[in-house]
Amino acid sequence: MRRLPIFFLLDVSESMAGENLRQLQHGLERLVTSLRTDPYALETVYLSIIAFAGKAKTLTPLVELASFYAPRLPVGSGTGLGAALTHLMADIDKSVLKTTPERKGDWKPVVYLMTDGKPTDDIKDAVYRWQKSYQQQASLVAIGVGQYADLEALRKLTPNVVHLNAQTDEDFKKFIDWVSQSVVAQSRSVSASNEGVSLAKLDDSILSKMGDLSLAAKVDEDYVILSGRCQRNALPYLIKYERMPMSFEGGQFNVNFARYHMVGVLALEADYYELCDNSMATPTINSDMLVGGAGCPHCGNSYAIASCGECEQLFCIDGEGKAKCPHCKHTNNFRLADDDSAGFNISRARG
């Protein structure tokens, strides 16, 4: 039986951390459970999971559906779409069997690309390679998640661009069901020797097919993500801030476009650094633009935004006094700032 390779190219950047990544993790498990109920999918479908942030990594090489188990999704810094495409093309070359005079190769692979942001690397060369050598070899379905996905960049890769606006767990389940139905439709289609991409009917309450993208792309500046390390165990964590909304005070609108309000803290595992591209310049933000502080989600230290005087990276401390930076091992001497002291620049993750 010829294989139908299905690649999932998943954005696991910092902006996906938290609820989005939790839904995606559960969604993969739901997807596999659903696909295993279909005999066509069981016979033909092989799955692969590739995660990307600043770098890309194959979490699961192509494996038959019956033997597939959803891997744990990591988190990394950056949204390296160019790096992800380069990695995907290498995986297709390595994993997909080509037709030869002696044998029939795999069916045309299908790629489901999911991302919620804008690329942080240069995608021009990777897009050119994809368009020139791979666009006819594989069917790509690009899914932009949320309002800040760069749909215009996705449109350069494929005409099959879908926008996902899932507000609840139930919405995300509907999306996963759509993916499952599309994979099943594709497995039945190739069984009938039709290699065109087959997609299930869109649920227009959560999904929309992109046509005119003139207003689709937005500047990804509506949140700030800080990345730090626990002083005690050196494990990473993220602190997420969102832009403060416009308010109405004293008979006039108060537009707080320059300030961000803290919305959550997330503990991460050490593999966060495997997908971070440290070759890129690190942006900064002034602490005066951030409203709200946080403690360390790993050890409970009171302050999670202490900046090392040597490497300028963030880590947690419990208060005033000496503290060794878990990034560069420099010993800092901290004191609490006066209320009227000037803010300081903080290293900001790329999201």
d(CA 163, CA 154): 11
Beta-carbon count within 10 A of 271 CB: 14
- pLDDT computed for residue 10 by the predictor: 97
Nearest to 236 by CA among 198, 265, 204: 265
d(CA 54, CA 80): 5
Tokens of 307: 């900046």
d(CA 106, CA 3): 5
- Tell me how far the alpha carbon of residue 188 is from its chain's centroid: 30
- Tell whether the model's pLDDT for residue 120 goes beyond 80: yes
Q: What is the pLDDT of residues 224-264, one digit of tens each?
A: 889 999 999 999 999 998 877 655 455 554 544 458 888 88
Cβ atoms 253, 247 nearer than 8 A: yes
- Tell whether the model's pLDDT for residue 123 goes beyond 50: yes
Nearest to 347 by CA among 304, 296, 303, 285: 285
Q: What is the pLDDT of residues 299-346, one digit of tens each?
A: 999 999 999 988 889 999 999 999 999 999 999 999 877 665 667 888
Tokens of 270: 């050490």
d(CA 1, CA 64): 12
d(CA 114, CA 274): 20
d(CA 198, CA 322): 61
d(CA 96, CA 338): 61
> CATH: 1.10.1030.10, 3.40.50.410, 3.30.70.580, 3.40.50.2300. Which one for 4-209?
3.40.50.410
Q: What is the pLDDT of residues 29-41, one digit of tens each?
A: 999 999 999 999 9
- Residue 279 sits at the vertex; the CA angle it makes with 276 and 280, to the nearest 5 degrees, is 85
| Interhelix angle 19-35/169-191, nearest 10 degrees | 40
Cβ atoms 192, 260 nearer than 8 A: no
Question: Where do the domains of the chain lie?
Answer: 4-209, 223-347
